[in-house]
């Protein structure tokens, strides 16, 4: 399967190779941006290393990402080596930090992409097929207008749900909420999260080194640990973390952005995904400990590296 993928994407290598050769005349800060790309010799070494034992534990997705972003390996390596905690950023040698300064020549904060957009850009192909099949099924059932109304109502319900939780954590309403089924679904977990535990509610975050943004739902102290909580509202029950697809990566991205913006005394290494249900059934509560967060942080970095490599290649193609 991987060899087939390589053959199918061979024409892309040629295109990217032409783009890389045109870097010298690009409108970017080319003296530094050039080091984001690999020389022909470096790419040859990387091809050999793909068969080396150091990659034996890599998944097919990892290898596909390395193959697709082959011409941007320095960029990929910089992103993939990014730490999760501020103390590790502060201890990073200047030579390593310079790699992130180079990135600022290619990406601007004005055009920064959100976590949700990046996840959409790098969605697993099989997941995309499933989503398209579901969409087609719903359109056949409801019609185009009916499906549009369904989506709008779902988003409106989600916004109302989040607003109620914001009001609760800001002490604007009691734990009794509005008495709706959605509220009753999450009410049990709210007994463990009093408003006094909230450190931040609905906060915008931007990672200044990795160039992505997001809006986290809240940061609370839960069982004596600082945690990011992500609230979800759904109709279909999902009690297994693996069934949440990209949500854990989304949360890990928020953790990384929050940590780099705060000092070492205010760092997050745990998270909770609370999935409330419209029918009032008890919410699914997924707790991500420090090991899980580290795991999904690495997965998020792979997605981010793939997205940024594509973005930079497209930008250079336009400027050449």
- Residues identified as active-site: 217, 230, 232
Give the residue ranges of DSSP H helices in 107-124.
115-121
Q: How far is CA 145 from CA 40, 112, 132, 153, 154, in A?
A: 52, 33, 17, 12, 14
Residues 286 and 252 sit within 8 Å (Cβ to Cβ): no
Closest CA to 228 of 204, 263, 252: 252
**For residue 181, which of 102, 278, 249 has the smallest C-alpha distance?**
278
Q: Rg of the chain over CA atoms, in angstroms?
A: 22
Residue 198: enclosing H or E segment and its boundaries?
strand 198-207
* H/E run at residue 245: none
SS (H, E, C) 6-65: HHHCHHHHHHHHHHHHCHHHCCCCHHHHHHHCCCHHHHHHHHHHCCCHHHCCCCHHHHHH
φ, ψ dihedrals at 262, nearest 5°: -130, 160
């Amino acid at each position: 399967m991987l060899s087939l993928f390589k053959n199918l994407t061979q024409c892309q290598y040629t295109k990217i190779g032409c783009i890389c050769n045109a870097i010298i005349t690009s409108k970017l800060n080319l003296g530094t941006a050039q080091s984001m790309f690999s020389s022909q010799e470096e790419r040859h070494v990387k091809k050999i290393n793909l068969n080396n034992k150091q990659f034996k534990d890599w998944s097919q997705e990892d290898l596909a990402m390395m193959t697709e972003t082959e011409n941007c390996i320095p960029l990929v390596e910089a992103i993939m080596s990014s730490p999760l905690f501020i103390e590790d950023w502060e201890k990073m040698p200047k030579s390593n930090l310079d790699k992130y300064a180079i990135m600022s020549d290619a990406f601007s904060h004005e055009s920064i992409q959100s976590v949700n957009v990046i996840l959409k850009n790098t969605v697993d192909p099989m997941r995309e097929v499933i989503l398209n099949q579901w969409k087609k099924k719903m359109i056949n059932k409801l019609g185009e207008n009916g499906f549009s109304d369904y989506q709008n109502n779902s988003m409106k319900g989600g916004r109302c749900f989040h607003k109620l939780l914001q009001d609760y954590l800001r002490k604007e309403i009691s734990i009794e909420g509005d008495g709706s089924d959605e509220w009753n679904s999450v009410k049990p977990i709210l007994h463990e999260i009093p408003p006094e535990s909230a450190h931040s509610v609905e906060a915008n975050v931007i990672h200044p080194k990795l160039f992505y943004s997001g809006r986290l739902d809240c940061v609370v102290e839960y069982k004596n640990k600082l945690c990011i909580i992500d609230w979800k509202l759904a109709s279909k029950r999902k009690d297994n973390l693996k069934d949440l697809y990209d949500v854990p990566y989304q949360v890990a991205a928020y953790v990384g952005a929050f940590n780099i913006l705060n000092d070492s005394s205010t760092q997050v290494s745990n998270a909770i995904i609370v999935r409330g249900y419209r029918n009032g059934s008890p919410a699914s509560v997924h707790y991500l400990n420090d090991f899980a967060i580290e795991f999904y942080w690495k997965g998020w970095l792979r997605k981010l590296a793939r997205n940024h490599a594509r973005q930079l290649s497209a930008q250079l193609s336009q400027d050449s």
